[in-house]
Amino acid sequence: METIEHTLLNCREAKLIWKLAPVQWEGMMEQHGSFRNWWTSISEARNRPEGWQHISLSVHILWQIWKARNELEFNGKKKEPWKTIQKAHQEWLEMVELDIKETRKSTEETSVLHQQIPQLDSEHGTVEVRIGVTSDMANHGLGIGISLRQCDQGFHRGWAIRARSSGSNLVDETIALKLAMCKAAAELLTEVLFQVQSPQLLNYICTNRVSDIRLATVVDDIIQLRDLFHMCSFCLVRNDKTQLSSKLSIHALGIILDEELWFP
């Protein structure tokens, strides 16, 4: 009986194709009994350098194996394994080139808008993001202050965000960090240092071991969001109410809509 595993991974022709492929998945042979397990294993490569390219090329190889199978099944035409790899590699390169062209076009179209306000350019240094949290337990209010700083540019940028408190200071700070990462990613920052005030939160991020289900989901989101940056790190800072982020969090308790602010 033909199965997904047999067609794409285990049949003689598929094995020859993967042997010739420019991307090799070492240690994956034990996963060939289940396509789901095999795919889950190679998907973990997204966290390594050029991991997404390797996964993308593998998708093209899978697609060409399927097309070669159909050509033989319905038209009686057998395709040599090296030709299957050649076609997969060619289409993958065309896709990469198209993505580069689209990115360049998008950059050119939006460059005028970006010139209208000063930008934090992380190519010239790491952008420091500090998060301040003020909770109003009586009214279930949560004020979040986010400040961005880059030493060589000499100015600050920030956000004041009002949300609903979870009733836990640790959960509130974790949610605030997630929101700060989303804001930084939306600004297309590439090198970012997030400054947190809770040692426990920093430990959770480093170990990804969380027993509280409310925290586990948000911490997992934070870990996934790290992949949006070229360099993303976290450090511990003391709770200082005189900091801009803390002042913004207090201000946020009195607003209705989120505010973006610039400071000289």
pLDDT digits over 230-260, tens only?
888 898 887 776 678 888 999 999 888 888 8
Q: Domain check: are 100 and 144 in the same one? A: no
Same domain, 134 and 259: yes
The residue behind tokens 């998708």 is 59
Q: What is the mean pLDDT of the chain?
A: 81
165/140 same-domain check: yes
DSSP states along 65-115: HHHHHHHHHHH-----HHHHHHHHHHHHHHHHHHHHHHHHHHHHHHHHHHT
Closest CA to 132 of 256, 226, 252: 252
Note whether 130 and 246 are same-domain residues. yes
Q: Is the pLDDT of residue 177 over 70?
A: yes
Same domain, yes or no, for 170 and 53?
no
- The Cα 51–Cα 63 span in angstroms is 19
For the CA atoms of 102, 123, 185, 152, the dihedral, rounded to the nearest 10 degrees, stands at: -140
Domain count, the chain: 2
Boundary of a domain, candidates 114, 149, 175: 114
Q: How far is CA 60 from CA 6, 34, 38, 54, 110, in A?
A: 18, 19, 16, 10, 31
For residue 252, what is the domain's CATH number?
3.30.420.10
Q: Give pLDDT tens digits for 134-164.
A: 988 888 899 999 998 876 665 578 899 998 8
Integer CA distances (angstroms), 184 to 39, 149, 179, 232, 237, in order: 31, 12, 9, 11, 19
Q: Which helix (H) or strand (E) holds 262?
A: strand 259-263
Asked whether residue 8 falls in the same domain as residue 81, the answer is yes
Its pTM stands at: 0.53
Residue type, 47: N
Q: Do 131 and 222 sit in the same domain of this protein?
A: yes
Q: Which two tokens stand for residue 46?
A: 């997204």
198, 105: one domain: no
What is the pLDDT, as a whole number, of residue 103? Answer: 52
Cβ distance 32 to 3 under 8 Å? Answer: no
Final residue before a domain boundary, out of 55, 86, 114:
114
Q: 177-183: which pairs have CB atoms within 8 A and are 24 or more residues apart? A: 177/131, 177/201, 177/222, 178/218, 178/221, 178/222, 178/225, 179/144, 179/146, 180/129, 180/131, 180/144, 180/146, 181/222, 181/225, 181/226, 181/228, 181/232, 182/225, 183/146, 183/159
* Three-class DSSP category at 22: coil
Instruction: Please check whether residues 253 and 185 belong to one and the same domain.
Output: yes
149 and 241 inside one domain: yes
- Report pLDDT digits (tens) over 49-96: 677 888 888 999 999 999 999 999 899 999 888 889 888 888 887 877
And the tokens for 66? Answer: 């399927």
pLDDT over 70 at 109, yes or no: no
Can you give the C-alpha Rg of the chain in angstroms? 24
Tell me which residue of 139, 221, 213, 215 sits closest to 170, measured CA to CA: 215
Helix (H), strand (E) at residue 205 = helix 199-207
Q: Quick one: 144 and 63 in the same domain?
A: no
Co-location of 107 and 142 in the same domain: no
Domain boundary among 81, 114, 147: 114
Q: Which domain range does residue 243 map to?
A: 122-263
pLDDT digits (tens, 9 = 90+) for 94-105: 877 776 665 555
Give mean pLDDT, residues 124-135.
Answer: 85
